[in-house]
Amino acid sequence: MHNVVHGDVVVGTGVQSRKVLQEQADNSLAKQRQKFYLDFLKQSLKQAEVTFWLSIAFMAAGAIVILVGAALALVYAQSADLSYVPLVTALTGALITVGGGALALHARRAKTHVTEQAERIGDKADKDDGLRTTLRLIDQVSDKDLRDRIRTAVALQALGVTADPETIASSLLADPKGEIEPGGPKP
C-alpha cells in the first residue's frame, strides 16, 4: 500500500489512510476550537484588565477633582460670587468617581465570567481527553462485535443518551448470535 501526503491530506487506500485522515481531522478541529476559545478568553481577560485600570484612573481623577473642590471651597469661602465653584467641582469629582466605581464593578464581573468560562473549557478538555483515551482502549478489544457494541454505548453516552447501567451491561455482554435475525425466528 502506498500513501501520498499533501500537507494535511493523506491520499491512499486501505484502513490505515482513512484512520490517519480521521485522526488528523479530529485533531485539527479540536486544535482550532481550543485555539479559538483560548484566544477569546485571553481577549476577554485583557479587556477586563484594561477596564479595571481605567476604573482606577477614573476613581483617582474623581478623588483629585473632589480635593480640588475642597481646596477651592477653602480659598473662596469669603467670596459670595464664586461659592458655587467648589460645589460644582466636588459634584463633578463625585460623578467621575462613581463612573470609576461602575467600571470597577464591570471589570470584576468580566473577570468572574472569564474564570467560569475557563473552568468550563477545562472540564470539556478533560472530558475530551477521557473520551479519546476510552476510544483508544476500545480499539484494543479483539472481538469485533463486542468492540462495536462498546463503541455504540460510548457514542450514546457522549450524545447524552442515558440508560440503566444493568441494561447497558446486559446488551454489551449479550451473545449477538442469539439475537433474532431479520424476518423473524426460524423454526
Task: For residue range 113-123, list pLDDT tens digits in order.
Answer: 888 988 888 88
Task: Give the pTM.
Answer: 0.55
**CA 113, CA 110: separation in Å to the nearest integer?**
5
* pLDDT band with cut points at 50, 70 and 90 for residue 14: very low
> Residue 86: which of 96, 97, 76 has the closest Cα?
76
Which residues, 6 or more positions from 66, have their beta carbon under 8 angstroms from its beta carbon?
89, 90, 93, 94, 97
> Cell 475530551 belongs to which residue?
128
* Cα angle for residues 21, 26, 31 (degrees, 5° grid): 125
**CA 134, CA 140: separation in Å to the nearest integer?**
10
For the chain, give every domain's residue range. 29-123
Query: Which pLDDT tens digit goes with each residue over 134-172?
Result: 888 888 888 888 888 888 888 888 877 777 777 766 766
CB of 76 closer than 8 Å to CB of 82: yes
Over residues 77-103, mean pLDDT = 83
